[in-house]
Amino acid sequence: MADTPLARSAAFTKLKFQLTRLRYRTDIILSIIFVIVFGFLVLVPLIKIIIVSLTYQSFDMRVIRDMKKLGTFTLYHYKRIFASDFSYAILVKPFINSLLVGFGVTAMAMLLGSLLAWAIVRTDLPWKNFFDSIIVIPYMMPSWVIALAWLIIFKNNRVAGEDGMLKILFGITPPDWFSYGLFPIIICLGLHYYSYSYLLISGALKTVNSELEEAGAIAGLKKWAVLRKITFPIVLPALGSSFVLTFTRSMGTFGTPALLGLPVRFFNIPTQIYASISMRNMGDAYVLALILVVLAGIAIYINSKIVGVRKSFVTMAGKGFKNRMNSLGSWRYPVAIIILLFLFVAFLLPLLLLVWNTFLLLPGDYSISNLTTHFWIGDSDYRIASGEPGIFKNPGIWNGVWNSIRLGVLAALINGFLGLFIGYAVVRNRGTRLSKSLEAISFAPYVFPSIAMGAIYLGMFAKPLGPIPALYGTFSLLVLIVVVKNIPFSSRSGISAMLQIDKSLEESARLQGLPWFKRFRKILFPLTKSGFLSGMILTFITAMRELSLIILLVTPTTRVLTTIIFAYEDQEEVQHANGVTLILITIIIIANFIVRKFFGNKSLMGLKES
Amino acid sequence: MSWIELKNIKKTYSGAPAVRELNLKIEDKQFVTLLGPSGCGKTTTLRIIAGLEEPDSGEVIVDGKIFFSREKGIFVPPEKRRLGLIFQSYALWPHMTVRKNISLALEQMHLSKEEIDNIVHEVLEKVQLSEYIDRYPSELSGGQQQRVAVARMIAAKPSIFLMDEPLSNLDAMLRVDMRAELKKLHHDSGATTVYVTHDQVEALTLSDKIAVMNNGVLKQIGTPEEIYKRPEDLFVARFVGSPRINSIEGSLAKKDGRFFFEREEIRTALSEIDDSDMSRLEKLSEGKLIATIRPEDIGVSKTAKPGWLEVVVTSVLPAGSETILTVITKGNVELSLKMNGFTDIKRNDRIWINIDPGKTNYYNEKTGKLILSYFK
Ligand SMILES: Nc1ncnc2c1ncn2[C@@H]1O[C@H](COP(=O)(O)OP(=O)(O)OP(=O)(O)O)[C@@H](O)[C@H]1O
Ligand SMILES: [Mg+2]
């Protein structure tokens, strides 16, 4: 039938219609491009992980000793990991540890986050604005800063190097379980991740209209019933989001477990992956990575079941209602002071310790005579720190500063625009399969553990791939992976920004004859600017403090601050590590301050998760 | 010349039809209203004309030029149709001043700065908003925003205006004023206008022609008088007019060589009808038929009159210029009546009414189609 002239011309008109129509449907064109490109950047890695995990790798040849089998199909890695003598060490223990870390941190973070959110949003606590603006600072710091501080205080010499402060000043040697491993990992991560829960839950609480609660009270509900029937359902999506976010992140986190776990051979799955990859044992590493992917998927699934897919979308930019405050009575000031103390311990103390530590010639010696400015402004001296010059005189560090800022700014810009375009494409096509696929695929990078994603990109871009040249060793590769990893967040904020614009605003411009680009520039962009900016600052922060994602991809010329810190810590050059950490945090805080100052103060409040 | 033709337009949303087999011709310089209950497909039809919605099949033709035809592979995008559209929400750009709202599209047209400025001032003068030129939409009242939307539309000088319930967000008083202004605007500009509303009074006052829609189907198109006096089917009869038209179920009868419509004690003569007409009517009505009469066409008397029907008043609703009565006949038929001004008739009073055969239409009970009308 395709051969009759009639059928051919019918097919031709159909095509002609679609083409003329598509020319003016930028949303569809964008959707198609994004689905293809992201599909490539997300699905190819996933397939690649699966293939590698199912074939013999060169590392295995040491055991197998049969070169012919290289690259052929096998369940070898799965057997090795799930059912062999190594299973306990490679899988079971790290798996249990990851779960323990995940649940421990989630419990601690959500408890802290919701208590603080409630106290700050819904009570007559004094100094609220101050708390509200300062409480999210841990969010801006890399998650392992507190771990660095922990080591300064609680290190014990039984495991490595010098004593910690506690031993030196008070003569107390903390036990191993206190200095290293699960316990400090949970504490340190909990003190970081509470800020996520706080942001999400306080945002939801701000949208709870106290009139609703009053209506409930008038309708005869008891105080507890009001909380259970009205307040709780409204904050449930936020609780769900912060659960998934904290759980998946802390389970898959690398930095803190590496700093506090490795010295006592405490492995969780990410550090085990890192260890496997360092040994070039890709097969094992990728099976473990798949396990993390599946776990993240399960957490997201459970959350969407409990909260409902639609409702799991928490908007932080909600309108502030007039809230009637719960009175704390005579507890007002005591509670405020407890929060102050908490904030002191959660971030001021760690920062002060880091600062102090950078002025010590020999770490652990707190006498006046041991103070030095060498690590900041000293010239290279072969007797100190293997001759590393002070931070301000260190070209390697300056290069890292430049790289980090470049990475942050580029990723922020690209993600900002991508987020808007994705949001536009998804929202304009709402309900179609194309739109759903785009939304799903934009969310996919979320489930990849950073360390595993880095490993895959390492393999994927080591050689030229189609039209893409070999990117390994280039700065572009860092930008690429950071952008891809952040797409879930920027697309979420893009979607919610676009949802807030009635489509008639664009349609009226269409009827007035404005072409797409002009509509975007004159109408859509200005109206979504605040969402765009908050998405940008978030990406900037995430990119600046990113470690596990890029640690496998940096080369000496593309080193960024986080990998420099990790390297110094690895070489036991703690003063340098701490000093560079401080520089990193300073840059992030200054950038955030600038954005808030110039573009309104909602920036961090744009945090959205699902 | 700006006429619009919709041919066999069909549009479904994920399987649910919003517009089915719509054929509609709108002549040059006419003011045509799409009228119908909520969800009947008015907005969809308007958006199809504008190009914002793509029908599943059918053609949209303007001035003989095909704007849309899947079959012929033609699609002219909204950007190129040069139509003016006013949204229910006005869709003013909130981040732009009134001036910028109006001039944005003009900048697209390669006009000089002075020309643009002149047009902006001219249209603002027309809608009497000159002093609000530098305000933002949020600083204007609903009525003023509505007028900015009008100004923005006419600035680009389209020869076709499309309006989707432009007055529905205004309060009752303002709505009446704006109605007059829109009518004047149409008159002055001579633009062909398609106006969507579910308010029948608006439709009756503004339109040259009214197209009544229900469930995605065009029920009838005609002048307001035709629509009001000669509704082609019961849906149209019942949708237009307030209070709702009276409908009385009954049957045909013949007595003493004269023909009647009968329901218990109600009996109206069918005039100018002979035997052949009668048998045709009987065929058309398939036995049962429905007589309709507008409340204001029923005569009312406080005293008995020969041939008039005695009824009991069940409610009295005065509304200033008129009073609506509902009454019930002995045979339990409920009717509404309209009287001028106020009345001293009270609930449970006995009154006499006259169902004027010269104001009565007859419909087939099953199909709802008109079979005999007093209005030719
Ligand atoms: N984008 C859409 N997706 C799915 N269904 C739609 C969409 N737009 C309209 N519909 C459906 O099509 C039908 C017609 O809708 P339309 O908006 O044309 O009604 P309307 O006559 O303008 O009603 P109203 O007076 O309430 O504005 C409705 O049943 C509506 O639910
Ligand atoms: Mg409508």
**Residue at A393 is within a domain:** yes
Confidence band of B141 (pLDDT split at 50, 70, 90):
very high
With 0-12 / 13-18 / 19 or more C-beta atoms within 10 angstroms meaning exposed / middle / buried, residue B1 is exposed
Mean of the per-residue pLDDT values of chain B: 91
Buried b / exposed e along A124-156 (16+ C-beta atoms within 10 A): ebeeeeebbeebbbbbbbbbbbbbbbbbbbbbb
What secondary structure does DSSP assign to A63-78, as a single string? HH--GGGTT-B--HHH
Asked if B285 and B291 count as a contact pair (C-beta separation under 8 A), the reply is no
Rounded Cα gap, residues A391 and A394, in angstroms = 5
Residue A121 and residue A154 in one domain: yes
Which of A511, A516, A523, A525 is best to mutate for the B interface (most B CBs within 10 A)? A511
pLDDT, tens only, B273-326: 667 777 777 777 677 889 999 999 999 999 999 889 999 999 999 999 999 999
Q: Residue A55: helix, strand or coil by DSSP?
A: strand
Q: Judge: A24–B81 Cβ closer than 8 Å, yes or no.
A: no
B94 against A605, higher pLDDT: B94
Residue A343 and residue A466 in one domain: no
Domain definitions of chain B by residue range: 4-239, 246-372
Q: Which residues contact A80 (CB under 8 A, 6 or more apart)?
A: A86, A87, A90, A283, A284
A257 against A393, higher pLDDT: A257
Confidence band of A56 (pLDDT split at 50, 70, 90):
confident
Residue A404 and residue A553 in one domain: yes
**Residue at A145 is within a domain:** yes
pLDDT, tens only, A360-398: 887 777 778 888 888 887 777 777 777 778 888 888 899
pTM beyond 0.90:
no
Neighbours of A7 (CB within 10 A): 11
Asked if B266 and B329 count as a contact pair (C-beta separation under 8 A), the reply is yes
Q: Residue A371: helix, strand or coil by DSSP?
A: strand
Pairing label, strands B160-164, B84-86:
parallel
**Residue at A91 is within a domain:** no
Q: Which of the listed residues A372, A403, A432 is the one where a domain comes to its end?
A: A372
pLDDT at A324: 61
Distance from CA of A520 to the nearest CA of B (A): 13
Domain count of the fold of chain A? 2
Give residue A540's domain range: 386-610
Mean of the per-residue pLDDT values of chain A: 83
Residue A360 and residue A227 in one domain: yes
Q: Is the pLDDT reported for residue A320 higher than 70?
A: no
C-alpha separations of A239 from A121, A417, A554, A609, B252 in Å: 15, 29, 36, 11, 71
Give me B216's structure tokens.
Answer: 């995605």
Pairing label, strands B192-197, B31-35:
parallel
CA of B53 to the centre of ligand 2 (A): 13
B184 against A8, higher pLDDT: B184
**Residue at A287 is within a domain:** no
Q: How wide is the angle at C-alpha B183 spanned by C-alphas B181 and B188, nearest 5°?
A: 90
C-alpha separations of A526 from A315, A372, A519, A602 in Å: 20, 51, 10, 16
The type of residue at A335 is V
Give the rounded percent of residues in chain A with a pLDDT score beyond 90: 27
Q: Could you report the predicted ipTM of this complex, rounded to two decimals?
A: 0.88
Pairing label, strands B16-26, B65-69:
unpaired
Confidence band of A310 (pLDDT split at 50, 70, 90):
very low
Ligand 1 pocket by Cβ (under 6 Å): B 13, 18, 36, 38-44, 198
Ligand 1, atom 12, residue with closest C-alpha = B18
Residue A490 and residue A423 in one domain: yes
pLDDT, tens only, B119-134: 999 999 999 999 999 9
Q: What average pLDDT does the segment A36-46 reach?
A: 87
Residue A362 and residue A420 in one domain: no
Q: How wide is the angle at C-alpha A69 spanned by C-alphas A65 and A72, nearest 5°?
A: 145
pLDDT at B358: 87
Write down the residue that tokens 């598509």 correspond to.
A22
**Residue at A549 is within a domain:** yes
pLDDT-wise least confident of A63-77, B73-87, B106-120, B141-155: A63-77
Mapping DSSP onto H, E and C, the string for chain B reads CCCEEEEEEEEEECCEEEEEEEEEEECCCCEEEEECCCCCCHHHHHHHHHCCCCCCEEEEEECCEEEEECCCCEECCHHHCCCEEECCCCCCCCCCCHHHHHHHHHHCCCCCHHHHHHHHHHHHHHCCCHHHCCCCHHHCCHHHHHHHHHHHHHHCCCCEEEEECCCCCCCHHHHHHHHHHHHHHHHHHCCEEEEEECCHHHHHHHCCEEEEEECCEEEEEECHHHHHHCCCEHHHHHHCCCCCCEEEEEEEEEECCEEEEEECCEEEEECCCCHHHHHHHHHHHCCEEEEEECHHHEEEECCCCCCCEEEEEEEEEECCCEEEEEEEECCCCEEEEEEECCCCCCCCCEEEEEECHHHCEEEECCCCEEEECCCC
A236 against B314, higher pLDDT: B314
Residues facing residue B299 across a β-bridge? B354
Residue A358 and residue A477 in one domain: no
Give me B67's structure tokens.
Answer: 């704007």
Rounded Cα gap, residues B193 and B200, in angstroms = 17
Asked if A608 and A496 count as a contact pair (C-beta separation under 8 A), the reply is yes
* Residues comprising chain B, all counted: 376
Q: Is the pLDDT reported for residue B11 higher than 70?
A: yes
**Residue at A211 is within a domain:** yes
Q: Which of the listed residues A340, A372, A404 is the one where a domain comes to its end?
A: A372
Give me A590's structure tokens.
Answer: 């200054």
pLDDT-wise least confident of A496-500, B195-199, B327-331: A496-500
Rounded Cα gap, residues A437 and B321, in angstroms = 60
Q: Judge: A504–B104 Cβ closer than 8 Å, yes or no.
A: no
Q: Is the pLDDT reported for residue A169 higher than 50?
A: yes
Q: What average pLDDT does the segment B255-281 reach?
A: 76
Confidence band of A76 (pLDDT split at 50, 70, 90):
confident
Using alpha carbons, select from A542, A250, A527, A506 the residue that is nearest to residue A415. A542
The helix-helix angle for A433-443 and A395-428 (nearest 10°) equals 160
Nearest to A510 among B75, B79, B104 (CB): B79
Of all ligands present, the nearest one to the C-alpha of B40 is 1
pLDDT, tens only, A513-544: 999 999 999 999 999 887 788 778 888 988 99
Distance from CA of B75 to the nearest CA of A (A): 6
Give the rounded percent of residues in chain B with a pLDDT score beyond 90: 73
pLDDT, tens only, A113-147: 999 988 888 888 888 888 887 887 887 888 888 89
pLDDT at A63: 79
Is the link from the previous residue into B243 a cis peptide, with omega within 30 of 0? yes
pLDDT at B124: 95
Rounded Cα gap, residues A6 and A149, in angstroms = 78
Asked if A450 and A562 count as a contact pair (C-beta separation under 8 A), the reply is no
pLDDT, tens only, A270-284: 999 888 888 888 888
pLDDT at B301: 93
* Residues in B touching A14 (Cβ below 8 Å): 73
Q: Which residues contact A548 (CB under 8 A, 6 or more apart)?
A: A253, A254, A255, A270, A274, A449, A450, A451, A454
C-alpha separations of A450 from A34, A293, A456 in Å: 22, 10, 10
Q: Is the pLDDT reported for residue A30 higher than 90?
A: yes
Confidence band of A600 (pLDDT split at 50, 70, 90):
low
Whether the CB of A527 is below 8 Å from some CB of chain B: the reply is yes
pLDDT-wise least confident of A67-71, A157-161, A383-387: A157-161
Nearest to B108 among A17, A21, A513 (CB): A513
Neighbours of B260 (CB within 10 A): 17
Q: Is the pLDDT reported for residue A316 higher than 60?
A: no
pLDDT at B191: 93
**Which homologous superfamily is B246-372 in?**
Nucleic acid-binding proteins (2.40.50.140)
Give me B71's structure tokens.
Answer: 């079959």
pLDDT at A145: 87
Q: Is the pLDDT reported for residue B259 higher than 90?
A: no
Write down the residue that tokens 């229900």 correspond to.
B214
- The CATH number that applies at residue A135 is 1.10.3720.10
Q: What average pLDDT does the segment A15-36 reach?
A: 92
Q: Judge: A511–B50 Cβ closer than 8 Å, yes or no.
A: yes
Give me B303's structure tokens.
Answer: 């005293």
Nearest residue of B to residue A25, measured between CA atoms: B77
Q: Is the pLDDT reported for residue A568 higher than 70?
A: yes
Q: Is the pLDDT reported for residue B4 higher than 50?
A: yes
Distance from CA of A524 to the nearest CA of B (A): 10
Rounded Cα gap, residues B373 and B291, in angstroms = 10
pLDDT at A176: 83
Give the rounded percent of residues in chain A with a pLDDT score beyond 70: 92
**Residue at A487 is within a domain:** yes
Q: Residue A465: helix, strand or coil by DSSP?
A: strand
Q: Which fold has domain B4-239?
A: Rossmann fold (3.40.50)
Using alpha carbons, select from A442, A310, A608 the residue that is nearest to residue A31. A442
pLDDT-wise least confident of A236-250, B41-55, B93-107: A236-250
The number of helix segments (H) and strand segments (E) in chain A equals 31, 0
Rounded Cα gap, residues A474 and A357, in angstroms = 34
CA of B206 to the centre of ligand 2 (A): 18
Using alpha carbons, select from A546, A491, A454, A437 the residue that is nearest to residue A48. A454
Neighbours of A233 (CB within 10 A): 12
B218 against A253, higher pLDDT: B218
Q: Residue A269: helix, strand or coil by DSSP?
A: helix
pLDDT, tens only, A391-430: 888 888 999 999 999 999 999 999 999 999 999 999 998 8
Neighbours of A70 (CB within 10 A): 13
Q: Judge: B78–A17 Cβ closer than 8 Å, yes or no.
A: no
Q: Which of the listed residues A319, A344, A372 is the one where a domain comes to its end?
A: A372
Q: Is the pLDDT reported for residue A58 higher than 90?
A: no
Q: Is the pLDDT reported for residue A266 higher than 90?
A: yes
Residues facing residue B364 across a β-bridge? B289
B114 against A330, higher pLDDT: B114
